Structure 1
């Protein structure tokens, strides 16, 4: 049996962001875990414009080349983890935009979250994202990784300084994600046979 393919999506695109360091930490942890094939996707590099398709996903063919590229990228994933900052008691616009571009590509796939911020540790971002991914037909995990005081564990341009508590939380989320990805992959394969 092949490893489920996990895509880690760094949601923040702003200059000086901490998301790239957090995403790299999580990516390295997944590689050491060795249960997944893994890809790190940085929305700052993907460069999606604000949603510019004339029809909503699922109602018509895509018309923009960047949408087709995004669709092909996301279609390869069997599970996802969004690394998201908390902005103004919610998640950031680039993450919402990336989700809104697609429809069927997300459906019936598990999704986890690594949220980060100040005292709330990205919890409100994760809480706000959960109904959005559920509306897209994704399977949101109840276990998430929450990183409080982000400036304490990573400085601008610096590496992420992990803590045992965060590694343990991430590993628990990967346990759940692996179970869902393995079971969901079997169901999706059976449906196409």
Structure 2
């Protein structure tokens, strides 16, 4: 069964936990994959502090090793992230930097939120995904703090947003499944 991580991409109080649970609720109505919320806050990842880059495959510190193993256990990802000053949160960027080949030959989609719907965060993530050999899908969900949140804090998505999540999940699962042969052959993990 294809495994998809729904990654909570912030660590501040009130971050995207409600958004991630909403995505998971929609995902659980589907049968072609297993979906799990993975919260980067649970791993205590500081700014990257490894003595060598992930590509060097040196021994990682225990917390970063646990994070890398968790990321490696999935076939694809849905990043749920706020937009801070146009890019993704620093916490998410740091978390992405820890693993190396664990990301390769997988698919990713993006659910972002911010004043302008998080479009800057998506643009930022698309650049990062290319470097990590992750196929990012075309469908995306951009939530506005003005229309999808009450008082800029309580998540109250418009009903039509669920259709956008369905489209995103369809693409992420399709691409994750299609890339399985590359993962099993070890291609692109050098």
How many aligned positions are there? 186
For 2:143, the equivalent position in structure 1 comes to 147
Question: For residue 177 of structure 2, what is the aligned residue in structure 1?
Answer: 182
The structure 2 residue matched to 1:32, chosen from 9, 29, 46, is: 29
Matched, 1:44 2:44: no
Is 1:8 aligned to residue 3 of structure 2? no
SS of the aligned residue for 1:83 comes to strand
Q: Give 1:96 deviation, angstroms.
A: 0.3
Q: Distance in 2 between matches of 1:22 and 1:150?
A: 15
* CA deviations over 1:131-153 (Å, ceiling 9, x no partner): 11111111111211110125743
Q: 1:152–1:137: structure 2 CA closer, same or farther, 3 Å change rule?
A: closer
Offset of residue 188 of structure 1: 2.4
Distance in 1 of aligned mates of 2:148 and 2:168:
23
Residue 116 of structure 1: aligned partner: 113
Is 1:97 matched with 2:94? yes
| Unaligned stretches of 5+ residues in structure 2 | none
SS at match of 2:68: helix
1:61 — aligned with what?
58
The answer to whether residue 155 in structure 2 is matched with residue 163 in structure 1 is no
Q: Give me the whole-angstrom Cα distance separating, in 2, the residues matched to 1:184 and 1:165.
A: 30
Query: Which stretch has the larger CA shift, 45-54 or 74-83?
Result: 45-54
**2:8 and 2:20 in contact (8 A); partners too:** yes
Query: How far apart, CA to CA, are the structure 1 residues paired with 2:162 and 2:61?
Result: 39
TM-score of the superposition, structure 1-length normalised?
0.89
Larger deviation: 4-13 or 44-53?
44-53
SS of equivalent residue, structure 1 residue 91 = coil
TM-score of the two chains, using structure 2 as the length reference: 0.91
Q: In the aligned structure 2, how far is the partner of 1:187 from the partner of 1:132?
A: 20
Moved over 2 A (4+): 149-158, 160-164, 186-189
